[in-house]
Amino acid sequence: MKKTPSIIINSNTETKKFLRANKKQKFPVQHTTERELVYVAPDACIWIDLEWIGRGRSNKAIQEYMSNLNLLLRFSKARNGEKFAKGLVVMMLMPATREELSTYQGKYHDVIERILRKYAFVVEIDEQYEQQFKQLESQLVKAYMEKELFTPTQAMDAKLVAQASIFNIPVVSRDNHIVGKENSKIEKIKEINKEILGTYEHQAFPIKIKTFVSRVAKHNPSPAPDNFVYLTKGNQKELKSMNNGKVKISYHYDEDKKIRRKEKDKVAVEVKGDKITVKVENKEVKNEDKIEEKNRA
Amino acid sequence: MEELISQFKELVEQDFQNLSKEEQIEFYQKSIEDLDKIMDTKNIDLDIYEKLLEIKKMLLSKIYILKE
């Protein structure tokens, strides 16, 4: 069997054409894979600081902070006309942040419009799931407030963290009351999120910009976004096209079933004589007639 | 502008327990509308915008808590 040089792992039509045209040439083996997009939800202050960077100016004395912001902009997807082009990071504008940066009529404030139009992926919740989404958000915010992770005047920040957590997307901020001065605050947020939203392999939580940028630069694993089913069809379509059709639109959170990721299947075994019925989450998957005594347990 | 910012800050810190929930929500919403008009000024200084945004966030937070 002819061995195709493994230069590119995903083989689309263009790649096949290219390989066919150059089959005599030998290519060095490159372990390049298309990196999955990284999602982040900047808070309002980060958007303002990004606007400063966009203007070619620095508003903060800490140069390291400004250079991290610069890196974030360079990594991020920017609009070229209507569509997003290039970039590895998708900066999501959560409904909470959008409310802060827009007028009561829904229009962006003049000063921040430029940066938002260019870089923001505006998260829109489908009407069908709006109530469910708000219920989840409300549950999370209540839990955060009960644990005194946010004060009543910081409810909008709690709302942002809740909304981003539903999608398993990290919030990036420079405020200590969001990213936490100590690890204990983040651990409490993670605990609450696990309880209400379920466990993820890489759980998203609020982080500082330095940590986020370093994670992207070092190719560290990023939280896989979830619950994109809550988004409008337009949002989902745009995300799919940005991901070359690879993004998974996951199940939506079902209060009754409380489906959790990575949870072991609940197995119920019913033994009646020689007949053993194995049920996995109310679904009958096995029905064996003759099972040896020693296998029963 | 600094005077305006401090006036808005005083507004946030005030307690309107003599008003009903709906009246408080209406009052805060009107204040946000006024804030938005200032924040939407063309060529507003970003530093001032940020200070006004902090106030707006606090007002929005108050409305959120009252509605829950």
**CB distance B42 to B18 below 8 Å:** no
Delimit the domains of chain A by residue range: 1-34, 38-242, 265-297
Q: Which two tokens stand for residue A20?
A: 């066919």
**CB distance A124 to A231 below 8 Å:** yes
Residue B44 domain-assigned (yes or no): yes
Neighbours of A103 (CB within 10 A): 16
Q: B48: distance to nearest CA of chain A, Å?
A: 11
Using CA atoms, how far apart are residues A140 and A193, in angstroms rounded to an integer?
7
Residue B27 domain-assigned (yes or no): yes
Q: Helix, strand or coil for residue A175?
A: coil
Residue B15 domain-assigned (yes or no): no
Categorise residue A281: left if φ over 0, alpha if ψ from -120 to 50, beta otherwise. left
CB contact under 8 A, A153 and B53: no
CB contact under 8 A, A155 and B41: no
Which helix (H) or strand (E) element contains residue A240?
Answer: helix A233-242
Which regions in chain A score pLDDT beneath 70? 1-35, 58-61, 244-297
Number of structural domains in chain B: 1
Residue B50 domain-assigned (yes or no): yes
**CB distance B12 to B32 below 8 Å:** no
Which pLDDT score is estimated for A124?
Answer: 95
Residue B57 domain-assigned (yes or no): yes
DSSP secondary structure, B37-49, as one string? HHHT-TT--HHHH
- The separation between CA A219 and the C-alpha centre of its own chain, rounded to angstroms, equals 16
- With contacts defined as CB-CB under 8 Å, which chain B residues touch A114? none
Which pLDDT score is estimated for A5?
Answer: 43
Mutate to test the interface with B, among A45, A97, A107, A109 (most CBs of B within 10 A): A109
For residue B40, the enclosing domain spans 2-10+20-67
- With contacts defined as CB-CB under 8 Å, which chain B residues touch A51? 46
Q: Which two tokens stand for residue A271?
A: 């033994």
Q: Helix, strand or coil for residue A284?
A: strand
Which pLDDT score is estimated for B4?
Answer: 78
Residue B43 domain-assigned (yes or no): yes
Q: pLDDT tens digit string along B2-57?
A: 787 787 877 777 777 788 889 999 999 999 999 999 999 888 899 899 999 999 99
Distances (CA, A) of A21 to A7, A15, A122, A274: 14, 10, 41, 63
Cβ density class A214-230: b for 16+ within 10 Å, e for less? ebbeeeeebbbbbbbeb
Residue B46 domain-assigned (yes or no): yes
Please give the CATH superfamily to which domain A38-242 belongs: 5'-nuclease (3.40.50.1010)
